[in-house]
Structure 1
Amino acid sequence: MANLRAGLIGLGMMGRHHARVLRSLDGVDLVAVADPGGDPHGVSGDLPVLSSIEDVIAAGVDYCMVAVPTAFHEQVGLALAEAGVHALVEKPLAADTAAATRLAEAFESRGLVGAVGHIERYNPALQNLRSRLEAGELGDIYQVVTRRQGPFPARIADVGVVKDLATHDIDLTAWVTQQPFTSVAARTALKSGREHEDLVAVVGQLADGTVTSHLVNWLSPMKERVTIVTGEKGAFVADTLTADLTFHANGTIPTTWGSLAEFRGVSEGDVVRYAIAKPEPLRTEHETFRDAVLGHDADVVTMRQGLRTVAVAEAVLDSAATGRTVEID
């Protein structure tokens, strides 16, 4: 069987990593790359740098990785759908729910594989966490807390921290718990002189009543990527920078020191850090999408799921703008 012919549009900070992985992917040949701004990181190799998505389509690609700014996702995605080309689009799926809906419907109506690059789903720590939650190792889930903080990335210009970074936390929270968001209440801040927000704090609720909390900003000198799931039997802590997963169990030994027992509530139990395989999430994401294009059973982030994440992100911004809790249909 001939290799799949892959294209890539967008050769910026993320595009360079996609190019590296696509070149090393079994069963795939990277045959066309495009970026109207050229090739700043020198990743095109012996391929000419094309100027438009139409040029990539003309090269006869089976599927395309879309790594252009969010504002162009709809235009590029609809062109690929019209041409019958499968597409993996960087997150968020689109700039708003209307555009995201049009993209999802365009790919679904043509029977094409359309997916969104919510890469945290492929982080080994979160994949292991989801499996453990599904197996009931935590019992009832009470709360999900995420912290995603770090310095401002120069690559972002067209959206704020909610649609860029917080969409990771929205998607991963709904995915690991297998529960959709039903409401959010948020506050944002603009501290760096840009037109978009650079800090957000969100309190949410999932369909099963689980309470969530998300702190996301581009204002911290340290980089933090942490997900904490607290439940009936203890708490899981996933660090997606190191792909480590740790379990803090509720204790079974009574605390006899009276004042300490009063203060702590549940007692401390064993702490376990799991030894798990740690493949590169970006490679896993590309392998999964390749398999989906080949017709295999593959757990891609569908455009319909990506649309849901955009809708929750818009609800977060609406809440911040109005100062009220927003219910999510």
Structure 2
Amino acid sequence: MTAPLRAGLVGLGMMGRHHARILRQLPGVTLVAAADPAGDKHQAAQSIPVVATVEELLTHRLNYCVVAVPTAHHASVALTLAHARIPTLIEKPLAADLSTALALAHAFDQAGVVAAVGHVERYNPALRALHARLANGELGTLYQVTTRRQGPFPPRVRDVGVVMDLATHDLDMTAWVTGRSFVSLAARTVSRSGRFPEDVAVIVGELSDGTITNHLVNWLSPMKERITTATGPHGCFVADTLHADLTYYANGSTRIQWPAAEVFRGVTEGNITRYAISKKEPLLSEHEAFRDAVRGADTPVVTLQQAAATIAAAEAVLASATTGNAVTPCLVRSRQTGANQRLTASPFSK
């Protein structure tokens, strides 16, 4: 029988306590220790040792580690783990800037150990079902992807604005579900609360195949909403990731005979289908995938290179909001060999 993997956890805050809960119940894994200089305020560690530093945590003979500290501390913690050759799962965003994200990716590449980033939306059942159906061509040629991610301000966020915290979910997820990279991003941002550089962002993007996207994110709404819509010639899919529901609105072939209804509903309408899908907690699915990757399986984890591409897209959003111009993410620019060349392969493809 294979011995359980010995897991460590750095950070016992709002996200860390959820990672601790999952690690305690994950088959084939034993959470052996945690590190947090502030101690265990949420009593998430329960009976395991809690130390103050990553160096102390390493004395517990770890097989892998989860990093759930504020984004500003990702680099120092993750580099220590990379140098110790410890497989590591890092909360998103990978880093506060692209240069740091690329340095982390290089460090783990040099160490030769698996590392991943917790873009947990890729494990949401509704988005996984959407990804599969788009890959099967069920919408035909994709026209547009739109997302809305808005709700009250989360007190846990102290070091990044809404673009790095929320929009990175949608930028990563959009590129992943379509299998395409962003080649252009334009945005406007404002700060109404005064707590961060921006707490509202409206983003328009173009993907490498010409698909257009738009994204609304904010921390100012009392209504929490997580909606992704993909539209094509056959209809549209709507993924509600709060409830893990996927609904299909088909284009119809039956002409409406009632003129008054036609005004509001369009020329034709088709069937509406809400799919029955298995609903496993996304964070649990993320941990299962990383556990299996540590054991050597070919599982769908989010690589540090993919997470760096998301940081590049987020930086393009912030640059556009500053300059007022559309911006090409710099990782895309570095791959282009001509002024009008489009990428045909995506770092988000499987």
What TM-score comes out, normalization by structure 1 length?
0.98
**1:1-329 to 2 correspondences below 5 Å:** 1-258=2-259, 261=262, 265=266, 267-328=268-329, 329=332
Structure 1 residue runs of 5 or longer lacking an equivalent are none
**Equivalent-residue separation in structure 1 for 2:58 and 2:94 (angstroms):** 20
Number of residue equivalences? 329
Query: Is residue 119–residue 282 contact of structure 1 (8 Å, CA) maintained in 2?
Result: yes
Query: Is residue 163–residue 313 contact of structure 1 (8 Å, CA) maintained in 2?
Result: yes
Segments of 4+ in structure 1 off by > 6 A? none
Partner SS for 1:13: coil
The residue type equivalent to 2:245 in the other structure is: D
**Equivalent-residue separation in structure 1 for 2:62 and 2:121 (angstroms):** 27
Partner SS for 2:270: strand
Partner SS for 1:18: helix
The residue type equivalent to 1:66 in the other structure is: V
Structure 2 residue runs of 5 or longer lacking an equivalent are 333-350
Q: Which moved more, 1:264-273 or 1:9-18?
A: 264-273
Partner SS for 1:326: coil
**Equivalent-residue separation in structure 1 for 2:13 and 2:196 (angstroms):** 22
The residue type equivalent to 1:311 in the other structure is: A
Partner SS for 2:203: strand
User: CA-to-partner distance for each residue in 1:5-45, whole Å, 9 max, x for gaps?
Assistant: 10000000010000000000111010110111111110111
Q: Which moved more, 1:75-84 or 1:263-272?
A: 263-272
Query: Is residue 97–residue 311 contact of structure 2 (8 Å, CA) maintained in 1?
Result: yes
> Could you say if the C-alpha distance between residues 208 and 266 of structure 1 is closer, same or farther in structure 2, counting changes exceeding 3 Å?
farther
Partner SS for 2:116: strand
> Could you say if the C-alpha distance between residues 319 and 108 of structure 1 is closer, same or farther in structure 2, counting changes exceeding 3 Å?
same
Partner SS for 2:312: helix
Q: Which moved more, 1:194-203 or 1:291-300?
A: 194-203
The residue type equivalent to 2:132 in the other structure is: S
Partner SS for 1:89: strand
What TM-score comes out, normalization by structure 2 length?
0.92
Q: Which moved more, 1:250-259 or 1:288-297?
A: 250-259
The residue type equivalent to 1:251 in the other structure is: G
Query: Is residue 54–residue 80 contact of structure 2 (8 Å, CA) maintained in 1?
Result: yes
User: CA-to-partner distance for each residue in 1:210-267, whole Å, 9 max, x for gaps?
Assistant: 0000000000001000000011100000000000000000011012345754765552
Query: Is residue 256–residue 267 contact of structure 2 (8 Å, CA) maintained in 1?
Result: no
User: CA-to-partner distance for each residue in 1:109-162, whole Å, 9 max, x for gaps?
Assistant: 222111000000000000001001101111111000000000000000000000
Query: Is residue 250–residue 266 contact of structure 1 (8 Å, CA) maintained in 2?
Result: no
Give 1:196 shift: 2.4
Query: Is residue 293–residue 301 contact of structure 2 (8 Å, CA) maintained in 1?
Result: yes
Partner SS for 1:98: helix
**Equivalent-residue separation in structure 2 for 1:47 and 1:246 (angstroms):** 43
Tell me which protein shows more strand as a share of its residues: 1
